[in-house]
Amino acid sequence: MVMAMKNYMMVLSYDGSRYLGWQGQGNTENTIEHKVETVLQRLTGEQTKMQASGRTDAGVHALAQPVTFQLSRSLDCHLLLTELNRYLPEDIGVLSLSPAPERFHARLSARSKIYVYRIWNSPAPDVFGRKYRYQISDSLDLQAMEQAARQLEGEHDFRSFCGLKRFKKSTVREIYQISFSRTGDELALRFHGNGFLNRMVRILAGTLIEVGLGLRSPESMTEVLAAEDRSAAAGALPAHGLMLEEVFY
């Protein structure tokens, strides 16, 4: 007899500062996945493996990370949500928890994602946002950055913006929109796309910042894409400025 497993979806919010990422390499104890699975197992009595919409790197945050998992029995979602939030560390929270359709999968069913990279664009110390923003003291030419962004939007081979050296799968992705918003001294760079390669958002952000600083021309983005070579783009910006903001299904 085959036991029908029940599928659940929850949305997690986490401050990635203390963790080795969603899933670690080697040491997997200090990962967000491990922390949540451990508490989930203690509360449900079942060992379960979660599927996240995507793995976030060490130090990267998530405002809303959708996750699916399966259990053999039905459970009271409202109660489990409350209990999870009671036992999880305060830098990981569960925003929602509900039954999901049988074939729904947090990663495979995802259609697009929004990542945001936050810059503190001021020489003044960023005491209260320091864990979620990367500081750039020099002024940025936002118009040049916008112009560069227009060339990165669309479907391209983003091999030049991929942190991995070997590619098993296609490096073609589509970026629907790159938008900028300024609130006081904060500059937020939002990337909406159908998928992102390893470190892609941080390398894109780093390259756009070099345009903003006048180190690259907006037109040069076409060449960086065409090079299909990691060394053509800029370095990746630090992890702490990056946040997974929304996943669409």
Instruction: Give residues in contact with a second copy (CB under 8 A).
Output: 13-15, 61, 63, 85, 88, 90-95, 124-128, 130, 132
Instruction: Identify the three-state secondary structure at position 38.
Output: helix
Q: Which is nearer to a second copy, 85 or 147 (CB)?
A: 85
CA separation for the pair 23, 32 (Å, rounded): 7
CA separation for the pair 244, 157 (Å, rounded): 22
Say how many CA atoms lie within 13 Å of 80 toward its Cβ. 21
Intra-chain end-to-end CA distance of the chain, in Å: 33
* Cβ proximity of 14 and 103 under 8 Å: no
- Beta-ladder partners of 177: 192
Instruction: Determine whether 57 is an active site residue.
Output: yes
Amino acid type, 161: F
Smallest CA-to-CA distance from 97 within 111, 79, 71 is with 79
Taking the complex as a whole, the smallest distance from the CB of residue 213 to a second copy amounts, in Å, to 20
CA separation for the pair 186, 183 (Å, rounded): 5
Compute the chain's Rg from CA coordinates: 19
CA separation for the pair 227, 221 (Å, rounded): 10
Residues taking part in catalysis: 57
